[in-house]
Structure 1
Amino acid sequence: MPVAVITGASKGLGLALAGALAGRGWDLVVDARAAGPLAKAARELRGAGSRVVALPGDVADGGHRTALVSAAGELGGLDLLVNNASALGAEPLVRLAELPAAGLRRALEVNVVAPLELIKEALPLLRNSSYFSYPPSYVAEAPYIGEAPFRGDEHPAEAYDPHPYSENSQNTDLSVSHPYVGVHGAVLTLSSDAAVEAYPTWGGYGASKAALDQLSAVLAVEEPGLRVWWVDPGDMRTDLYAAAVPDDDGSGRPLPQTVVPALLRLLDGAAASGRYTAADLTAAPDGASSR
């Protein structure tokens, strides 16, 4: 069975994605800081018949990251690493003039340093994965064969620019190989529109996500044998958003479960490495999960 590590999986999008993968027969290693909610989530996930290892802890802790990867190895390897855990830096969010340095450091530690260190720990297992070497058994139609990563603009012929407002950042060498030839495991990282848009009070969080986007873009170039996806899931009704903007009525925002089909589409099509938005993945026609 394929194996995934999903951080921040006791609730929200992490739990929704974990549930979808468990329903497809994946074995899981999941984490969260709160042991009680994580144990409850693990019981739900095991109901689908999957093996589930639940390890409470903080992704900013190096020993915890090592334990996550070791648990995946004991399940047989690692095919998908999902960097979902995030920290805001301030709750509620505040303007940059009021952002505590400690809060910014926490956001950078959890949202940038921890994912990179976890990726580094996981690379040997991901490189050894054969998950994308053959079409998954549950894919009913011929998968999309990407010719370029999603660029998030109206000019698909241009090279992907992970930072469209910077003239010095270009990433033109992402993997364009056949998705089932020489491809091993995958890294899925949850980004945000705050990484590319200037929203008041979202500066610290957005800066950390922008840095994570750039790390992902470089990883995609340096590890052409992996699929590396960084995805803006769009607005969601989550505890993270409620903590960020407690005065905002989030009842009209989509539930995290609505984003899961877009993420599964990346897996089903072995989509080319790149930055995606859930909205574009959902809107794309069948067999065209990237553009």
Structure 2
Amino acid sequence: MPVAIITGASRGLGLAIAKGLAGEGWRLVVDARDAGALAGAVAELPGVTALAGDVTDPGHRAALVRAADELGGVDLLVNNAGILGPSPQPRLADYPLDVLRAVFEVNVVGPIGLLQWALPSLRERGGAIVNVTSDAAVEAYEGWGGYGSAKAAVEQASRILAAEEPSVRVWWVDPGDLRTRMHQEAFPGEDISDRPLPDTAVPAFLHLLRTRPESGRVRLSELAVPA
């Protein structure tokens, strides 16, 4: 029974991935900042250890890895937790720098700090890291300078990590536009009901884990998933 750490698992893509992995027999260590929401979201999932906390907290990051080690060690780390920043999103000329620091702290520093704790186990077990990214990391969308530049930093860090850690698979995964609360925050007042639900991305995600391609950027919508 492999073990995965999934951050930001109380809703959206993180919760969808947790459900998918639990259905495949994985044991999970999951987190989110809202303890009540996290407990309610994963209450019916088997083999789940839920630890409420913030990925920017070094003590919380260490606790996540300790919990996974108690289950046998980390086979998969899914860095999914993130924040958009202000909604509506400001232009870079007007972006509050204290908020920009917070966006980078959650979206970049937190995931790197967590993988530093997890790497010894991942190396030993030939595991994998999934850093959730976005097309905003590679496309220049007006108003996306904060979130997009943070995700661009995640992608470059992932490339370097893949070069430095050949025994570990590193995928920076673009799930596409999904009907999540964060996506709604990115388009305040707009109808995003045409976007697919997060659960629709899970088959491609599971296919990625089964096939274990070389480290690299992955767009889930482009994976050829067997029927």
TM-score of the pair, normalised by structure 1: 0.76
Q: Measure the CA separation in 2 of the matches of 1:107 and 1:62.
A: 17
Question: Structure 1 residue 237 and structure 2 residue 179: aligned?
Answer: yes
Q: Measure the CA separation in 2 of the matches of 1:246 and 1:238.
A: 12
> How many residues were matched structurally?
226
Matched with 2:44 is 44
Task: Supply the AA of the counterpart residue of 2:195.
Answer: R
Task: Supply the AA of the counterpart residue of 1:106.
Answer: A
Matched with 1:81 is 77
| Structure 1 residues not aligned, in runs of 5+ | 130-183, 287-291
Identify which of 175, 180, 204 aligns with 2:146. Answer: 204
* Structure 1 position 244, deviation (Å): 2.1
Q: Measure the CA separation in 2 of the matches of 1:13 and 1:234.
A: 11
Question: Structure 1 residue 279 and structure 2 residue 211: aligned?
Answer: no
Q: Measure the CA separation in 1 of the matches of 2:218 and 2:39.
A: 31
* Structure 1 position 261, deviation (Å): 1.2
| Structure 2 residues not aligned, in runs of 5+ | none
Question: Structure 1 residue 93 and structure 2 residue 89: aligned?
Answer: yes
Say if 1:38 and 1:54, in contact at 8 Å, map to a contact too. Answer: yes
* Structure 1 position 258, deviation (Å): 0.8
- Secondary structure of 1:45's counterpart equals coil
- Structure 1 residues 285, 69: closer, same or farther in 2, change over 3 A? closer
Q: Measure the CA separation in 2 of the matches of 1:252 and 1:263.
A: 21
* Structure 1 position 285, deviation (Å): 6.6
Q: Measure the CA separation in 1 of the matches of 2:87 and 2:36.
A: 22
Matched with 1:68 is 64
Q: Measure the CA separation in 2 of the matches of 1:68 and 1:278.
A: 26
Q: Measure the CA separation in 1 of the matches of 2:98 and 2:87.
A: 13
Q: Measure the CA separation in 2 of the matches of 1:247 and 1:255.
A: 18
- Secondary structure of 1:197's counterpart equals coil
Task: Supply the AA of the counterpart residue of 1:107.
Answer: V
Task: Supply the AA of the counterpart residue of 2:79.
Answer: N
Q: Measure the CA separation in 2 of the matches of 1:10 and 1:128.
A: 29
Q: Measure the CA separation in 1 of the matches of 2:37 and 2:88.
A: 22
Q: Measure the CA separation in 1 of the matches of 2:85 and 2:57.
A: 17
Matched with 1:19 is 19
Matched with 1:246 is 188
Identify which of 128, 147, 150 aligns with 2:124. Answer: 128
Q: Measure the CA separation in 1 of the matches of 2:114 and 2:163.
A: 18
Deviations 1:124-154 (A, max 9, x none): 111121xxxxxxxxxxxxxxxxxxxxxxxxx
Please identify which structure carries the higher helix content: 2
Say if 1:30 and 1:55, in contact at 8 Å, map to a contact too. Answer: yes
Say if 2:207 and 2:225, in contact at 8 Å, map to a contact too. Answer: no
* 1:149-164 equivalent positions in 2, closer than 5 A: none
Matched with 2:127 is 185
Q: Measure the CA separation in 1 of the matches of 2:86 and 2:78.
A: 24
Matched with 1:118 is 114
Q: Measure the CA separation in 2 of the matches of 1:44 and 1:256.
A: 18
TM-score of the pair, normalised by structure 2: 0.97
Matched with 1:32 is 32
* Structure 1 position 115, deviation (Å): 0.6
Q: Measure the CA separation in 2 of the matches of 1:21 and 1:285.
A: 16
Q: Which runs of 4+ in 1 moved over 6 A?
A: none
Task: Supply the AA of the counterpart residue of 2:111.
Answer: P
Matched with 1:141 is none
